[in-house]
Amino acid sequence: MAALRVAIDATPLLGRPTGVGAFVAGALPALAADPSLALSAYALSLRGGRHLPGRLPAGVRPLDRPMPARPLLAAWSRSAGPPGRWWTGRAVDVVHGTNFVVPPSAPAAEVVTVHDLSPLHERRWASPATAAFPALVRRALGRGAMVHTPSSAVAAALCDAFGADPARVRAVPHGVPAPPPAPAAAPEVAGPYVLALGTVEPRKGLPVLVHAFDALAAAHPGLRLVLAGPPGWGQAAVDEAVARARHGGRVVHLGWVPPGAAAALLAGAAALAYPSLDEGFGFPPLQAMAAGVPVVASRAGALPEVLGDGAHLVPPGDADALAEGLALVLSDDELRAGLVARGAAQAARYSWPACAAGLAELYRDAATLRTA
């Protein structure tokens, strides 16, 4: 049987790593190991695409035709053109858009990954770029695309919000990003610290975390709160919360941290706080659980589904409950040990080979439905 020819959007591999980049970086090598698939990769980037070949694993062929992202996204949100085959070529059975956007690809089947519905739920959670995603997803659904989500929570929410046929929406969980093979030193932080990892954006709930830390800081005089992640459109609210906090001087802003240093920073944390107001999967808490670090997270979006009993969950947006949860994890050795053990078991449930197997099945089903 001939291999199924799949073109995958590898744009998230360009630039600094993000959560979507972690998904593509984890799934692509596992997909490339499947002999039933013939993989190529494209980049929605006019200039960045020239760097794509160096970011791809063995067995994935780069498609090097420049794709100007801004005009294409604008066009695809309004119409079914220009056709994606101008860039992917005609010899493709399935096109997988890994970040909310899949080109109009007939006669090939289309698969689009929808990571969460935050741009639809709250306008303030959307950046100018992500605000366009709901229209692009609706267009793809109208063309008969199949949808991949990383959790059942997102799949159910998508069917409800878009009226999508549940038979065309498939939840395939991600794996857990592995620590980089090369060790790196963590940034120096005086004393024990609670860590938050991720882009500073409104839905991550970081002002709530600052308020929670301020409430428990007096009882833990050596404790620091470390915020590690690139600044985003939620930075001003975090800065304001820190400025108003009594213990704001003990909040450490590191900005973006390279992957190796981030892994070392995570390994040294007393706890990871993940107070997100909405989440489609949740890489940082799973990485913490895999590293033996206890997690306090919000009971929001897909987090209860993904984290199970491996994290201490609190209501989203509740600074008092978050402070109480962190205080318990920092002071109760028995609770802490139980979280570490259950967290490791929960993180072990997710793997990139399992993710790739689920995606390959989705590709085959999409191709079959397209030709039926």
Residue range 236-259, pLDDT digits in tens: 999 999 999 999 999 999 998 988
CA distance 130 to 203: 13
Q: Sign of dihedral through CA atoms 203, 209, 210, 211? A: positive
Quote the pLDDT of residue 135: 87
Token couple for 245: 């906090």
CA distance 181 to 178: 8
pTM of the model: 0.94
At 366 the pLDDT is 97
Position 129 scores a pLDDT of: 65
- Report the half-sphere exposure of 312 (CA within 13 A, side-chain side): 24
Residues in CB range of 86: below 8 A, 6 or more apart: 65
For residue 310, give the nearest of 351, 274, 353 by alpha carbon: 274
Tokens of 212: 């929670």
Buried b (16+ CB within 10 A) or exposed e, 285-321: bbbbbbbebbbbbbebbbbbbbbbebbbbbebebbeb
Architecture of domain 4-175+351-371: 3-Layer(aba) Sandwich (3.40)
Tell me the torsion sign for CA atoms 191, 193, 197, 203: negative
**Which class is domain 193-347?**
alpha beta
* Per-domain boundaries in the chain: 4-175+351-371, 193-347
Instruction: Name residues of the chain where pLDDT drops below 50.
Output: none
User: What per-residue confidence (pLDDT) applies to 208?
Assistant: 97
Question: Which amino acid, one-letter code, is at 189?
Answer: V
Residue 263 forms beta bridges with which residues?
none
pLDDT tens for 190-209 read: 889 999 999 898 889 999 99
Q: 343: phi > 0 → left, psi -120 to 50 → alpha, else beta; which? A: alpha
Q: What is the pLDDT of residue 128?
A: 64
